[in-house]
């Protein structure tokens, strides 16, 4: 890790901690890179936001490599996590409190397996109201937090693989491989609805982006240690 390599362009794989925003990770690492090499400025950007309540792979690009951020964002992604059935929240995850509860006694392993098949392939998905998408110039989450509503259009996404890896009701552990633009929170909500119940996302981890794996990623602390030790 040299000043020249950061300016020419590095691809950094970071395992985002829980409750950090993706922007906080970028800011933290940019500050340490600037401090290490006494730079006034250095370009650092991330290739695909992770929600604060999610952990896992975040690709950061520095210097000239920031020009390629869009190509990294477009790659297929893999996630693991937990859907909790029997209840929904307005944000489709734990950011907001439960607003409705549902029966789950009818949910069987066979029903779960059959329901997952409905979501594999090219499907229409409506993003959550609690998202950064803009509607008439305003972020949807700003509209939602004011208690207001907005018409959200469905968008086409692709689910390449979707499996429930463990059933521990009310928790369903899952793995999903999907295209850019997929909201796993929306998948949780829609999956619960398809089960004739309700569901929300209670854990999420991004494990892969294209050929990049979280197994090869630095924690924020370990990256800083490596940077300052050299």
Which pLDDT belongs to residue 229? Answer: 84
Block means of pLDDT (10 residues each) for the chain, length 230 residues? 92 97 96 95 94 96 96 97 97 94 98 98 87 60 61 89 98 98 96 98 98 97 91
Nearest by Cα to 81 from 166, 22, 196, 190 = 166
51-75 pLDDT, tens digit each: 899 999 999 999 999 999 999 999 9
How does the average pLDDT of the chain come out, rounded? Answer: 92
pLDDT of 132 reads 60
Establish whether 51 is a catalytic residue. Answer: yes
In whole angstroms, give the CA distance from residue 200 to residue 187: 9
Distance CA 44, CA 29 (A): 8
Catalytic residue among 15, 51, 93, 190: 51
Position 1 scores a pLDDT of 82
**Which pLDDT score, from 0 to 100, does residue 127 have?**
83
d(CA 26, CA 124): 32
């Amino acid at each position: 890790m040299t000043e020249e390599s950061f300016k020419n362009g590095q691809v950094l794989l970071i395992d985002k901690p829980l409750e950090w925003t993706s922007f906080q990770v970028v800011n933290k690492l940019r500050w340490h890179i600037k401090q290490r090499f006494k730079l006034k400025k250095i370009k650092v950007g991330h290739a695909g936001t992770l929600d604060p309540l999610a952990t896992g792979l975040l690709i950061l690009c520095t210097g000239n490599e920031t020009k390629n951020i869009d190509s990294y964002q477009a790659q297929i992604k893999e996630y693991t996590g937990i859907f909790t059935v029997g209840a929904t929240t307005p944000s489709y995850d734990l950011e907001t409190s439960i607003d409705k509860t549902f029966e789950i006694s009818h949910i069987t392993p066979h029903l779960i397996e059959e329901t997952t098949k409905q979501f594999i392939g090219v499907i229409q998905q409506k993003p959550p109201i609690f998202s950064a998408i803009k509607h008439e110039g305003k972020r949807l989450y700003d509209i939602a937090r004011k208690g207001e509503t907005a018409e959200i259009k469905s968008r086409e996404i692709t689910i390449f693989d979707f499996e429930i890896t463990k059933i521990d009701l009310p928790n369903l552990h899952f793995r999903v491989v999907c295209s850019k633009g997929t909201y796993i929170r929306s998948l949780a909500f829609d999956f619960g609805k398809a089960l004739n119940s309700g569901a929300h996302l209670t854990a999420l981890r991004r494990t892969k982006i294209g050929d990049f794996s979280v197994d090869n990623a630095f924690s924020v602390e370990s990256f800083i240690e490596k940077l300052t030790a050299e």
